[in-house]
Amino acid sequence: MSLSMPPKPDVLVVDDVEAVRVSLAEALRGAGYNPICVASGHEALTEIANRPFAVAVTDIWMAGIDGLKLIKLIRDTNRDLPILAMTGGGPRLTIETAGALAEVWGAERVFVKPFDEDVLVKAIDAIVARQ
């Protein structure tokens, strides 16, 4: 790789299901991003503290710190990090409500699983281009 090439933007992927992490990492890597995958909100907060990310993609319904809480915590410390949310539904909130709340807290867009990962990649492209 030549040094003149721009560095691959780091994208944080937060999901407690490994298969989802693997699938998303594949898609992002294929699109020229550097996916950093973590399985929980705690790990995500550590990663965000350690290095800058271009975009964070997080699941909403997770054990421990759930996605909504995570988005809120990220927003408290880092106002500028763009966030995209994903959800497959959950026992307490409907998909629409969860999505609406994620947007209220600061997610730019909500994707309902299973979604076409190419659409997600395009959204990330748009965010990076804007930056």
Partner 1 sequence: MCLILLAFVGPTRAAAETTVRFIGPLADHLLDRSGRLAITDITAPGSTVAFQQHDGRRAANYGPSPAPEAALWLRVVIPTLAERAGGDWVLALREPRIRNVSLFIQDAEGWRELRWVIGRSQAGSGFPTRYPVLIVPTTEVADSTVYLRIQTPSSMRASLWLHADMDFVSASGAENLMFGVVFGMLAALAMYLAAAALIARDPTSAMLSGLVLAYLAYVLGDQGFVGSILWPGGIVAARVMSFGGTFLLFAMILFYSPYFLRVSTHFPRVAAAVRGVAIAMLGLSVMALVSVLTDNPTLRRFSAPIGIASIALCVLLVVLSWRSERRRTLVFIACWGPMFAGGLVRMLHDALPAIGANPIAVNVNYLATCLSLLLSGIANAIDLQSREREARRAAEDAALRLRAFAESASDSFWESDRNGTVIFASGPTAQAIGLTPGRNLADLLGQDQQSGEISARDQLANSLVNTSEFRASITLPVTEGGLDHRLVSFRARPSGAGGGLQGIVTDDTAEAAAKERIAQQRKMAAIGQLAGGVAHEINNLLHPIVNLSRRVAGGIPAGDDRRRLLEIVAESGTRAATIVAGLLTSVRPTPRADSHAPLGQALGEAIRSLRSILPDKLALSFENYGEPGPMVDANEAFQVLANLVANAVYATRGEGHVDVRFKGSGAAGFILTVKDNGEGMDHETRQRAMEPFFTTKQPGQGTGLGLPIVYGIIHAWKATIDIESQSGVGTRVTIAVPGPTLSETEPTHVAQHAAQA
Interface residues with partner 1 (CB under 8 A) are: 15, 17, 19-20, 22-24, 26-27, 30, 59, 61, 87-97, 112-117
Q: Is 89 left (phi over 0), alpha (psi -120 to 50) or beta?
A: left
**CB nearer to partner 1: pick between 34 and 78:** 34
CB of 79 to partner 1, least distance (A): 27
CB of 106 to partner 1, least distance (A): 19
CB of 120 to partner 1, least distance (A): 9
CB of 80 to partner 1, least distance (A): 28
Supply angle C-alpha 50, 54, 57, rounded to 5. Answer: 90
Q: Are strands 34-38 and 83-87 parallel, antiparallel or unpaired?
A: unpaired
**CB nearer to partner 1: pick between 17 and 126:** 17
Distance CA 72, CA 74 (A): 6
Distance CA 103, CA 23 (A): 24
**CB nearer to partner 1: pick between 18 and 42:** 18
